[in-house]
């Protein structure tokens, strides 16, 4: 996995933080300077944190464990959902349901209900429901799919979560912390980096910044999965 260069991070606006008045003093070590009232992130620190996070995610993927992607803000949804799908990992990009991890049994029941509705609608032999009932079921399925579709195949809690914007996703951060699930996150200058295990100082509002950081995380996961597959094949021989 090739780490983005300093210039690539610069071009993606990774260095742009928030206004000084919005800063969290705990981000001091990751801030390069203030320019026209805006804090600029030290991209050398970003690169260091990226490498550290990437290596850790690679090992988790290599061990065969799941990594959940979480990003519900508008500019991150499509980027993150597509990234997660590319490595067959679970994701939450529509809305974080309280208890998504801490009340996982209930979430699994909801997923099972969604799958049952899907099977019922797909079964052409089911004739004991009216058109109106079919429409109601279809709407319910679509609503559930939007929120739960990304975790439909998650049968056990993930071993790690990758989060874009820990202020926005504070519920996910809190649940992961309570369950001892490792947290990897893009952390902007208005956030507390101590809330996560692997903070990556970066602009979490720009789609270009979100994309370049997320892409590197995915490359790390891909590398871990490839090494795992190679070892499995070797053992089989």
Which CATH number is 202's domain given? 3.40.50.10490
Do 78 and 171 lie in one domain? The reply is: yes
Whether 173 is in a domain gets the answer yes
Whether 128 is in a domain gets the answer yes
118: enclosing H helix or E strand: helix 104-122
Residue 173: strand, helix, or coil: helix
Q: What confidence score (pLDDT) does residue 237 get?
A: 65
Count: domains in the chain? 2
Q: What confidence score (pLDDT) does residue 125 get?
A: 60
Do 208 and 181 lie in one domain? The reply is: yes
158: enclosing H helix or E strand: none
Whether 19 is in a domain gets the answer yes
How far, in Å, CA of 160 to CA of 100, rounded?
14
Do 18 and 57 lie in one domain? The reply is: yes
**Torsion angle of alpha carbons 232, 233, 235, 236, nearest 10°?**
120
Do 84 and 97 lie in one domain? The reply is: yes
Which of 150, 167, 187 is the C-terminal boundary of a domain? 150
Do 21 and 128 lie in one domain? The reply is: no
Q: What confidence score (pLDDT) does residue 118 get?
A: 84
Do 81 and 126 lie in one domain? The reply is: no
Residue ranges, the chain, pLDDT below 70: 124-127, 237
Which of 115, 150, 185 is the C-terminal boundary of a domain? 150
| pLDDT tens column, 132-188 | 888 888 898 888 888 899 999 899 999 999 999 999 999 999 999 999 999 999 999
> In terms of residue numbers, what domain contains 130?
104-150
pTM more than 0.95: no
Using the CB atoms, write b or e for 1-18: b if 16+ within 10 Å.
Answer: beebeeeebeebebbbbb
Whether 46 is in a domain gets the answer yes
Whether 1 is in a domain gets the answer no
Do 61 and 40 lie in one domain? The reply is: yes
Return the percentage of the chain with pLDDT > 70, whole number. 98
Do 79 and 134 lie in one domain? The reply is: no
Whether 116 is in a domain gets the answer yes
CB 110 within 8 A of CB 99: no
CB 215 within 8 A of CB 54: no
Do 17 and 54 lie in one domain? The reply is: yes
How far, in Å, CA of 112 to CA of 208, rounded?
36
Using the CB atoms, write b or e for 96-131: b if 16+ within 10 Å.
Answer: bbeebbeebeebbeebeebeebbeeeeeeeeeeeee
Whether 202 is in a domain gets the answer yes
């Amino acid at each position: 996995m090739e780490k983005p260069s300093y210039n690539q991070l610069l071009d993606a606006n990774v260095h742009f933080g928030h206004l000084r008045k919005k800063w969290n003093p705990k981000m001091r070590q990751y801030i390069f300077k203030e320019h026209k009232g805006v804090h600029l992130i030290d991209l050398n620190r970003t690169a260091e944190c990226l490498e550290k996070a990437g290596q850790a995610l690679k090992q988790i993927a290599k061990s065969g464990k799941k990594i959940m992607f979480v990003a519900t803000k508008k500019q991150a949804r499509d980027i993150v959902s597509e990234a997660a799908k590319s490595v067959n990992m679970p994701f939450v990009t529509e809305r974080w349901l309280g208890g998504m991890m801490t009340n996982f049994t209930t979430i699994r029941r909801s997923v099972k209900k969604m799958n049952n509705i899907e099977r019922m609608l797909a079964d052409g032999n089911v004739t004991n429901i009216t058109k109106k009932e079919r429409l109601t079921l279809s709407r319910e399925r679509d609503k559930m799919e939007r929120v739960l579709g990304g975790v439909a195949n998650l049968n056990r809690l993930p071993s790690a979560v990758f989060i874009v914007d820990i202020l926005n996703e504070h519920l996910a951060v809190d649940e992961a912390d309570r369950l001892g699930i490792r947290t990897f996150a893009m952390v902007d200058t208005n956030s507390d980096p101590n809330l996560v295990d692997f903070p990556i100082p970066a602009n979490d509002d720009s789609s270009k910044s979100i994309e370049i950081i997320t892409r590197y995380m995915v490359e790390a996961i891909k590398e871990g999965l490839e090494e795992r597959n190679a070892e499995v094949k070797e053992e089989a021989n």
